[in-house]
Amino acid sequence: AQSVTQLGSHVSVSEGALVLLRCNYSSSVPPYLFWYVQYPNQGLQLLLKYTSAATLVKGINGFEAEFKKSETSFHLTKPSAHMSDAAEYFCAVDSGGYQKVTFGTGTKLQVIP
């Protein structure tokens, strides 16, 4: 069984501040982990993914995430928020890489000018 928990359905940060979106996973086998972003009225697009290579993963638009097995976490960070980062972010897990993915409930990021 696999599952994902995203802490905080809404997160607000000031422009230029650190972005931290939390994700914890549960998986009985080594997982593949993903962060997707959804801009208003659009589908989801991949931000970054962990596939058992480097534990610190860099994605698009300055985002990165660190896989911590001991904490079963895969938190998403960005040093300095931009207004264009306002969107909904989804963490997802694929146990064993079988391409049957479970998504978290999402975190809406608001960036305040």
Partner 1 sequence: DADVTQTPRNRITKTGKRIMLECSQTKGHDRMYWYRQDPGLGLRLIYYSFDVKDINKGEISDGYSVSRQAQAKFSLSLESAIPNQTALYFCATSEYSGTSGLKPSNEQFFGPGTRLTVL
Q: Does 34 bind partner 1 (CB under 8 A)?
A: yes
Q: What is the 3-state secondary structure (H, E, C) of 87-98?
A: EEEEEEEEECCC
Question: Which residues lie closer than 8 Å to 85 by C-beta, 6 or more apart?
Answer: 19, 61, 78, 109, 111
**How far, in whole angstroms, is CA 17 from its chain's centroid?**
18
Identity at 20, one-letter amino acid code: L
Could you say which of 9, 12, 61, 80 contacts partner 1 (CB under 8 A)?
9
Identity at 75, one-letter amino acid code: H
Could you say which of 8, 30, 79, 97 contacts partner 1 (CB under 8 A)?
97
Minimum Å gap between C-beta 94 and partner 1 is 6
| Residues in 71-90 at the binding interface with partner 1, rule: CB under 8 A | 90
Q: Which is nearer to partner 1, 70 or 99 (CB)?
A: 99
Q: Does 100 bind partner 1 (CB under 8 A)?
A: yes
65 with 75: CB under 8 angstroms?
yes
Q: Which is nearer to partner 1, 17 or 44 (CB)?
A: 44
Q: Which residues bind partner 1 (CB under 8 A)?
A: 6, 9, 32, 34, 36, 42-46, 49, 51, 90, 94, 97, 99-106
